[in-house]
Amino acid sequence: MRTAAPPLPGPVTWFVRVLAAFVRRELVAMSGYRAAFATRLAGFAFVVVGLVFFARFVGASANPHMAAYGGNYLGFVAIGFLATELQQVGIAGLARRVRTSQIMGTLEAELATPAPAWMVLGGAPVYEFGTAALRSALYLWAATVFVGLELPRANMLTVVVAVPLVLAAFIGLGLLTAGSTMLVRRTNPVSAILGSLSFFVSGVVYPVSVLPGWLQRAGSVLPLTHVLVVLRGAFLMGASPAAVSGSLTALAVFAAVLIPLGAATFAYALRRARVDGSLTHY
Protein backbone atom coordinates (compact mmCIF):
# COMPACT_ATOMS: atom_id res chain seq x y z
CA MET A 1 0.00 0.00 0.00
CA ARG A 2 0.99 3.60 -0.46
CA THR A 3 2.52 5.49 2.43
CA ALA A 4 1.92 9.08 3.55
CA ALA A 5 4.18 11.38 1.52
CA PRO A 6 6.87 13.15 3.55
CA PRO A 7 6.76 16.97 3.53
CA LEU A 8 8.60 18.70 0.69
CA PRO A 9 11.86 20.41 1.67
CA GLY A 10 12.28 24.19 1.61
CA PRO A 11 13.30 25.71 -1.74
CA VAL A 12 16.94 26.27 -0.77
CA THR A 13 17.45 22.72 0.54
CA TRP A 14 15.60 21.34 -2.47
CA PHE A 15 17.70 23.33 -4.93
CA VAL A 16 20.91 22.24 -3.21
CA ARG A 17 19.75 18.62 -3.56
CA VAL A 18 18.90 19.13 -7.24
CA LEU A 19 22.25 20.79 -7.82
CA ALA A 20 24.06 17.96 -6.04
CA ALA A 21 22.17 15.48 -8.23
CA PHE A 22 23.31 17.28 -11.41
CA VAL A 23 26.92 17.36 -10.17
CA ARG A 24 26.82 13.68 -9.24
CA ARG A 25 25.24 12.62 -12.53
CA GLU A 26 27.64 14.68 -14.64
CA LEU A 27 30.68 13.42 -12.73
CA VAL A 28 29.55 9.82 -13.06
CA ALA A 29 28.85 10.33 -16.77
CA MET A 30 32.18 12.11 -17.28
CA SER A 31 34.06 9.23 -15.65
CA GLY A 32 32.80 7.10 -18.52
CA TYR A 33 34.17 9.49 -21.13
CA ARG A 34 37.81 9.73 -20.08
CA ALA A 35 39.03 10.03 -23.67
CA ALA A 36 36.90 13.15 -24.22
CA PHE A 37 38.25 14.67 -21.02
CA ALA A 38 41.85 13.92 -22.04
CA THR A 39 41.25 15.39 -25.51
CA ARG A 40 39.88 18.57 -23.99
CA LEU A 41 42.84 18.85 -21.66
CA ALA A 42 45.26 18.31 -24.56
CA GLY A 43 43.45 20.98 -26.59
CA PHE A 44 43.84 23.43 -23.75
CA ALA A 45 47.53 22.60 -23.39
CA PHE A 46 48.12 23.32 -27.09
CA VAL A 47 46.37 26.70 -26.75
CA VAL A 48 48.45 27.64 -23.69
CA VAL A 49 51.73 26.62 -25.31
CA GLY A 50 50.77 28.59 -28.43
CA LEU A 51 50.02 31.60 -26.25
CA VAL A 52 53.42 31.34 -24.61
CA PHE A 53 55.17 31.72 -27.96
CA PHE A 54 52.76 34.42 -29.07
CA ALA A 55 53.38 36.28 -25.80
CA ARG A 56 57.14 36.02 -26.35
CA PHE A 57 56.73 37.46 -29.82
CA VAL A 58 54.51 40.35 -28.64
CA GLY A 59 56.57 40.93 -25.49
CA ALA A 60 59.77 41.26 -27.51
CA SER A 61 58.34 44.29 -29.30
CA ALA A 62 57.91 46.22 -26.00
CA ASN A 63 54.46 47.40 -27.03
CA PRO A 64 53.58 50.70 -25.24
CA HIS A 65 49.92 49.63 -24.96
CA MET A 66 51.02 46.83 -22.64
CA ALA A 67 52.74 49.17 -20.18
CA ALA A 68 49.54 49.50 -18.17
CA TYR A 69 49.65 45.74 -17.62
CA GLY A 70 53.31 45.51 -16.64
CA GLY A 71 54.20 44.22 -20.12
CA ASN A 72 52.84 40.80 -19.10
CA TYR A 73 51.11 39.77 -22.32
CA LEU A 74 50.80 36.11 -21.35
CA GLY A 75 48.88 37.06 -18.20
CA PHE A 76 46.87 39.62 -20.16
CA VAL A 77 45.71 37.21 -22.82
CA ALA A 78 45.23 34.25 -20.44
CA ILE A 79 42.81 36.31 -18.32
CA GLY A 80 41.14 37.52 -21.52
CA PHE A 81 40.43 33.97 -22.68
CA LEU A 82 39.33 32.70 -19.27
CA ALA A 83 36.89 35.58 -18.80
CA THR A 84 35.56 35.02 -22.33
CA GLU A 85 34.98 31.35 -21.56
CA LEU A 86 33.09 32.28 -18.39
CA GLN A 87 30.94 34.69 -20.39
CA GLN A 88 30.20 32.05 -23.04
CA VAL A 89 29.18 29.53 -20.39
CA GLY A 90 26.98 32.19 -18.79
CA ILE A 91 25.36 33.26 -22.04
CA ALA A 92 24.96 29.86 -23.62
CA GLY A 93 24.82 27.45 -20.67
CA LEU A 94 21.14 27.67 -19.84
CA ALA A 95 20.04 27.99 -23.48
CA ARG A 96 22.15 24.98 -24.42
CA ARG A 97 20.75 23.06 -21.46
CA VAL A 98 17.18 23.66 -22.68
CA ARG A 99 18.03 22.62 -26.25
CA THR A 100 20.09 19.58 -25.27
CA SER A 101 17.45 18.29 -22.85
CA GLN A 102 14.77 18.74 -25.49
CA ILE A 103 16.84 16.87 -28.05
CA MET A 104 17.89 14.13 -25.61
CA GLY A 105 14.30 13.85 -24.41
CA THR A 106 15.07 14.16 -20.70
CA LEU A 107 13.37 17.51 -20.18
CA GLU A 108 9.78 16.31 -20.13
CA ALA A 109 10.52 13.60 -17.57
CA GLU A 110 12.38 16.11 -15.40
CA LEU A 111 9.57 18.66 -15.61
CA ALA A 112 7.03 15.97 -14.69
CA THR A 113 8.63 15.65 -11.24
CA PRO A 114 7.44 17.88 -8.38
CA ALA A 115 10.55 20.08 -8.68
CA PRO A 116 9.68 23.58 -9.92
CA ALA A 117 10.76 24.25 -13.51
CA TRP A 118 13.26 26.95 -12.49
CA MET A 119 15.01 24.38 -10.31
CA VAL A 120 15.13 21.77 -13.07
CA LEU A 121 16.38 24.23 -15.65
CA GLY A 122 18.65 26.12 -13.29
CA GLY A 123 20.54 23.14 -11.90
CA ALA A 124 22.59 22.24 -14.96
CA PRO A 125 23.83 25.73 -15.89
CA VAL A 126 24.80 26.43 -12.30
CA TYR A 127 26.83 23.23 -12.45
CA GLU A 128 28.37 24.28 -15.77
CA PHE A 129 29.12 27.74 -14.44
CA GLY A 130 30.63 26.36 -11.25
CA THR A 131 32.86 23.95 -13.15
CA ALA A 132 33.84 26.70 -15.62
CA ALA A 133 34.89 28.98 -12.73
CA LEU A 134 36.80 26.13 -11.12
CA ARG A 135 38.40 25.23 -14.44
CA SER A 136 39.46 28.85 -14.94
CA ALA A 137 41.13 28.90 -11.53
CA LEU A 138 42.90 25.61 -12.32
CA TYR A 139 44.02 26.91 -15.72
CA LEU A 140 45.51 30.03 -14.12
CA TRP A 141 47.27 27.90 -11.53
CA ALA A 142 48.58 25.50 -14.19
CA ALA A 143 49.77 28.41 -16.34
CA THR A 144 51.77 29.82 -13.40
CA VAL A 145 53.30 26.44 -12.56
CA PHE A 146 54.00 25.00 -16.01
CA VAL A 147 54.43 27.85 -18.50
CA GLY A 148 55.86 30.60 -16.37
CA LEU A 149 52.84 32.91 -16.07
CA GLU A 150 53.80 35.44 -13.39
CA LEU A 151 51.15 36.98 -11.14
CA PRO A 152 53.32 38.28 -8.30
CA ARG A 153 51.14 41.27 -7.51
CA ALA A 154 47.72 39.62 -7.53
CA ASN A 155 45.28 41.30 -5.14
CA MET A 156 43.04 38.49 -3.92
CA LEU A 157 40.72 40.86 -2.03
CA THR A 158 39.73 42.45 -5.33
CA VAL A 159 39.28 38.99 -6.88
CA VAL A 160 37.03 37.91 -4.00
CA VAL A 161 34.95 41.10 -4.31
CA ALA A 162 34.76 40.83 -8.10
CA VAL A 163 33.89 37.14 -8.62
CA PRO A 164 30.27 37.30 -7.28
CA LEU A 165 29.61 40.41 -9.40
CA VAL A 166 31.14 38.78 -12.50
CA LEU A 167 29.04 35.64 -12.02
CA ALA A 168 25.87 37.66 -11.34
CA ALA A 169 26.30 39.76 -14.49
CA PHE A 170 26.91 36.68 -16.66
CA ILE A 171 24.02 34.73 -15.08
CA GLY A 172 21.71 37.67 -15.84
CA LEU A 173 22.85 37.59 -19.47
CA GLY A 174 22.33 33.83 -19.49
CA LEU A 175 18.75 34.08 -18.23
CA LEU A 176 18.00 36.68 -20.87
CA THR A 177 19.40 34.63 -23.76
CA ALA A 178 17.85 31.38 -22.50
CA GLY A 179 14.43 33.01 -22.22
CA SER A 180 14.66 34.40 -25.73
CA THR A 181 15.93 31.02 -27.03
CA MET A 182 12.81 29.37 -25.62
CA LEU A 183 10.59 32.02 -27.14
CA VAL A 184 12.06 31.82 -30.64
CA ARG A 185 12.54 28.01 -30.37
CA ARG A 186 15.96 27.88 -31.89
CA THR A 187 19.51 28.51 -30.82
CA ASN A 188 19.69 32.17 -30.07
CA PRO A 189 21.90 34.20 -32.42
CA VAL A 190 22.23 36.87 -29.71
CA SER A 191 24.73 34.77 -27.79
CA ALA A 192 26.92 34.33 -30.88
CA ILE A 193 26.72 38.04 -31.74
CA LEU A 194 27.38 39.10 -28.16
CA GLY A 195 30.31 36.68 -27.97
CA SER A 196 32.02 37.96 -31.09
CA LEU A 197 31.21 41.62 -30.36
CA SER A 198 32.68 41.29 -26.87
CA PHE A 199 35.80 39.66 -28.31
CA PHE A 200 36.12 42.59 -30.65
CA VAL A 201 35.49 45.60 -28.40
CA SER A 202 36.11 44.36 -24.84
CA GLY A 203 39.82 43.79 -25.34
CA VAL A 204 40.23 40.05 -25.02
CA VAL A 205 43.53 39.76 -26.91
CA TYR A 206 44.52 43.42 -27.15
CA PRO A 207 44.10 46.40 -24.81
CA VAL A 208 41.06 48.58 -25.58
CA SER A 209 43.47 51.53 -25.79
CA VAL A 210 44.26 50.46 -29.39
CA LEU A 211 40.59 51.03 -30.35
CA PRO A 212 39.20 54.38 -31.52
CA GLY A 213 37.36 56.35 -28.84
CA TRP A 214 33.87 55.59 -30.09
CA LEU A 215 34.55 51.83 -30.06
CA GLN A 216 35.95 52.10 -26.54
CA ARG A 217 32.73 53.83 -25.48
CA ALA A 218 30.68 51.12 -27.21
CA GLY A 219 32.68 48.48 -25.36
CA SER A 220 31.86 50.05 -22.01
CA VAL A 221 28.24 48.91 -22.31
CA LEU A 222 29.34 45.26 -22.34
CA PRO A 223 29.93 43.40 -19.06
CA LEU A 224 33.03 41.60 -20.38
CA THR A 225 34.89 44.89 -20.77
CA HIS A 226 34.49 45.63 -17.06
CA VAL A 227 35.20 42.04 -16.07
CA LEU A 228 38.54 42.27 -17.89
CA VAL A 229 39.40 45.63 -16.32
CA VAL A 230 38.74 44.26 -12.84
CA LEU A 231 40.41 40.85 -13.25
CA ARG A 232 43.48 42.16 -15.08
CA GLY A 233 43.78 44.98 -12.56
CA ALA A 234 43.58 42.52 -9.68
CA PHE A 235 45.81 39.79 -11.10
CA LEU A 236 48.40 41.73 -13.09
CA MET A 237 48.66 45.09 -11.31
CA GLY A 238 47.55 44.28 -7.75
CA ALA A 239 44.73 46.84 -8.02
CA SER A 240 42.66 47.33 -4.85
CA PRO A 241 38.84 47.32 -5.02
CA ALA A 242 38.93 51.13 -4.81
CA ALA A 243 41.25 51.34 -7.82
CA VAL A 244 38.77 49.46 -10.01
CA SER A 245 35.62 50.75 -8.31
CA GLY A 246 34.24 52.18 -11.58
CA SER A 247 34.15 48.79 -13.25
CA LEU A 248 32.97 47.04 -10.06
CA THR A 249 30.06 49.50 -9.91
CA ALA A 250 29.31 48.89 -13.59
CA LEU A 251 29.19 45.13 -12.94
CA ALA A 252 26.85 45.66 -9.97
CA VAL A 253 24.55 47.73 -12.21
CA PHE A 254 24.64 45.05 -14.93
CA ALA A 255 23.70 42.41 -12.34
CA ALA A 256 20.94 44.57 -10.84
CA VAL A 257 19.38 45.15 -14.27
CA LEU A 258 20.09 41.88 -16.08
CA ILE A 259 19.07 39.41 -13.37
CA PRO A 260 15.49 40.72 -12.86
CA LEU A 261 15.09 41.33 -16.60
CA GLY A 262 16.46 37.89 -17.46
CA ALA A 263 14.39 36.17 -14.77
CA ALA A 264 11.22 37.90 -16.01
CA THR A 265 11.95 36.92 -19.63
CA PHE A 266 12.73 33.36 -18.60
CA ALA A 267 9.58 33.07 -16.46
CA TYR A 268 7.45 34.42 -19.33
CA ALA A 269 9.08 31.96 -21.76
CA LEU A 270 8.37 29.07 -19.37
CA ARG A 271 4.70 30.07 -19.09
CA ARG A 272 4.45 30.34 -22.90
CA ALA A 273 6.09 26.93 -23.28
CA ARG A 274 3.48 25.32 -21.00
CA VAL A 275 0.77 26.85 -23.15
CA ASP A 276 2.12 25.90 -26.58
CA GLY A 277 3.89 22.69 -25.52
CA SER A 278 7.19 23.84 -27.00
CA LEU A 279 9.29 23.00 -23.97
CA THR A 280 9.11 19.32 -24.78
CA HIS A 281 9.31 19.61 -28.56
CA TYR A 282 12.24 20.45 -30.79
Partner 1 sequence: MTVASAVPASPVVTVENLGKVFRPPGGTRELLRGRLWRDPVRALEDVSFTVAPGEIVCMMGPNGAGKSTLARILGGLLVPSSGRATIAGHDAAAGAPALRRSVSFVVGDERSFHYGVSGRENLRFFAALHGMGAAAIRRRTDELLERVGLAAAADRRYREYSRGMRQRLAVARGLLGDPEVLLLDEPTLGLDPVGARDLRVFLRDDMIRAAGRTAIVCSNDPTEARALADRVLFLEGGRLTREVSPDRIEAELGL
Interaction between residue 152 and partner 1 (CB under 8 A): no
Interaction between residue 40 and partner 1 (CB under 8 A): no
- 3-class DSSP state for residue 133? helix
Task: Work out which of 40, 42, 45, 106 binds partner 1, going by CB under 8 A.
Answer: 106
Q: Toward partner 1, which CB reaches closer, 2 or 145? A: 2
Distance of closest approach, residue 182 Cβ to partner 1, in angstroms: 12
Interaction between residue 2 and partner 1 (CB under 8 A): yes
Determine the Cα–Cα distance for residues 37 and 43; give it in Å rounded to an integer.
10
- 3-class DSSP state for residue 103? helix
Q: Toward partner 1, which CB reaches closer, 120 or 165? A: 120
| Residue 181 burial class via C-beta count within 10 angstroms: exposed 0-12, middle 13-18, buried 19 and up | buried
- Site mask for partner 1 (CB under 8 A), range 59-98, x = bound: ----------------------------------------
Interaction between residue 17 and partner 1 (CB under 8 A): yes
Q: Toward partner 1, which CB reaches closer, 9 or 43? A: 9
The angle subtended at Cα 89 by Cα 175 and Cα 281, nearest 5°, is 60
Determine the Cα–Cα distance for residues 72 and 59; give it in Å rounded to an integer.
7
For 132, other C-beta atoms within 10 Å of its C-beta total 21
The DSSP letter of residue 186 is S
Distance of closest approach, residue 280 Cβ to partner 1, in angstroms: 7
Q: Toward partner 1, which CB reaches closer, 212 or 277? A: 277
With b for 16 or more beta-carbon neighbours within 10 A and e for fewer, the 140-168 pattern comes to: beebbeeeebebeebbeebbebbbebbbb
Interface positions with partner 1 (CB under 8 A)? 1-3, 5-6, 8-9, 13-14, 17-18, 20-22, 24-25, 28-29, 32-33, 104-106, 108-116, 119-120, 185, 274-277, 279-280
